[in-house]
Amino acid sequence: MLLDKKGFIIDIDGVVGKSKTPIAEGVKAVKKLKEMGKKIIFVSNNSTRSRRILLERLRSFGLDVSEDEILVATYATARFIAREKPGARVFTTGERGLIEELELAGLKLVEYNEAEYLVVGSNRGINFELMTKALRACLRGTRYVATNPDRVFPSEDGPIPGTGMIIGALYWMTGKEPDVIVGKPSKVIMEEALKILGLKASEVAVVGDQIDVDVAAGKAIGAETVLVLTGVTTRENLQQMIERHGLEPDYVLDSLYSIFER
Ligand SMILES: [Mg+2]
């Protein structure tokens, strides 16, 4: 039974909001789960926003959440590196939100030729100079960590390049892929979520709107998965998505609120 779970690992975009617009049923459901005393953590692959920025967005939806209820790829990446090598010297392609989290985790931002880690995250101001530096860090064999594997990102007026733009370019230039990918469907970010919740995979449900991202991430840690049809996946394309990705969610709900109507 879904409502017997002690905790819920919930995706943001397509579940409780679409960019800056709230999804009413999703917001209402999270409020109710919290009232029931369930532990909640929002997990997002966003690589340009810090926890602080996402916190403001969730609060603007009317959700009363704290920073430790948000796990975003920027923060998870910083925690992962800080645990592997405290105080490590890092070079990043990322923008302010990622830099903020790397510094908060005690990592030192340096130039590519001094770096122990190459941290690849999206950057809406990426240019030839920054790509040159990332290329050179990659060629030096610097440990390569990517915030998330998203090829494209659904923005309000259509798809925009995701972190995949940089991962793809580096791969084409050097043949190298990231040593570690942190964001969903990787279990790195999901295990961090379990650690923060203080729960086992069997005690949580993983909720999201994408089979290849959220359902795959849930299965990676062996948790039960809930696909909601308020985002990328719809009634119309559901079967096609299941076949395309070869993964079947444990539950399919019209919205997160349907969890109470089962
Ligand atoms: Mg989503």
pLDDT digits 0-9 by tens, 176-216 = 999 999 999 999 999 999 999 999 999 999 999 999 999 99
Q: What's the 174 CA to ligand 1 centre distance in angstroms?
A: 31
pLDDT at residue 71 in the model: 96
Domain C-terminal end among 132, 151, 181 = 181
Q: What's the 17 CA to ligand 1 centre distance in angstroms?
A: 9
DSSP 3-51: GG-SEEEEESBTTTEETTEE-HHHHHHHHHHHHTT-EEEEEE--SS--H
State whether 177 and 189 are in the same domain.
no
State whether 123 and 161 are in the same domain.
yes
The percentage of the chain sitting over the pLDDT mark of 90, rounded to a whole number, equals: 90
Domain C-terminal end among 125, 155, 181 = 181
- Mean pLDDT, the chain, whole residue set: 95
pLDDT at residue 74 in the model: 94
Specify if 171 maps to a domain.
yes
State whether 98 and 171 are in the same domain.
yes
Specify if 135 maps to a domain.
yes
Give per-residue burial for 57-78: e unless 16+ CB within 10 Å, then b. bbeebebebeeebbbbbbbbbb
Specify if 74 maps to a domain.
no
Average pLDDT over residues 222-247: 96
pLDDT tens per residue across span 34-53: 999 999 999 999 888 888 88
State whether 152 and 111 are in the same domain.
yes
pLDDT tens per residue across span 123-181: 999 999 999 999 999 999 999 999 999 998 877 788 899 999 999 999 999 999 999 99
pLDDT at residue 252 in the model: 98
Nearest to 258 by CA among 205, 193, 197: 205
State whether 167 and 98 are in the same domain.
yes
Specify if 54 maps to a domain.
no
Q: What's the 128 CA to ligand 1 centre distance in angstroms?
A: 30
Name the residue range of residue 217's domain. 2-45+184-260
State whether 177 and 188 are in the same domain.
no
* pLDDT of 66 higher than 90: yes
Q: What's the 122 CA to ligand 1 centre distance in angstroms?
A: 17
Specify if 174 maps to a domain.
yes
Phi-psi region of 10 (alpha: psi -120 to 50; beta: other; left: phi over 0): beta
State whether 191 and 216 are in the same domain.
yes
The residues near 47 (Cβ < 8 Å, ≥ 6 apart) are 73, 74, 77, 94, 97, 98, 121, 122, 147, 148, 150, 163, 183
CATH number at residue 238: 3.40.50.1000
Q: What's the 203 CA to ligand 1 centre distance in angstroms?
A: 22
**SS3 call for 142:** coil
* pLDDT of 19 higher than 90: no
Nearest 5°: phi and psi at 115?
-80, 145
State whether 96 and 165 are in the same domain.
yes
Q: What's the 168 CA to ligand 1 centre distance in angstroms?
A: 22
Q: What's the 85 CA to ligand 1 centre distance in angstroms?
A: 31
Specify if 62 maps to a domain.
no
Q: What's the 136 CA to ligand 1 centre distance in angstroms?
A: 33
Number of domains, the chain: 2
State whether 106 and 176 are in the same domain.
yes
Burial-class residue 203 by CB neighbours within 10 Å (0-12, 13-18, 19+).
middle
* pLDDT of 261 higher than 90: no
**SS3 call for 136:** helix
H or E element, residue 167: helix 164-174
pLDDT at residue 49 in the model: 81
Specify if 127 maps to a domain.
yes
Q: What's the 89 CA to ligand 1 centre distance in angstroms?
A: 32
State whether 188 and 177 are in the same domain.
no
Specify if 93 maps to a domain.
yes
* pLDDT of 223 higher than 90: yes
State whether 91 and 123 are in the same domain.
yes
Q: For residue 162, what are the β-bridge partners?
A: none
State whether 106 and 168 are in the same domain.
yes
pLDDT at residue 76 in the model: 96
Domain C-terminal end among 181, 208, 228 = 181
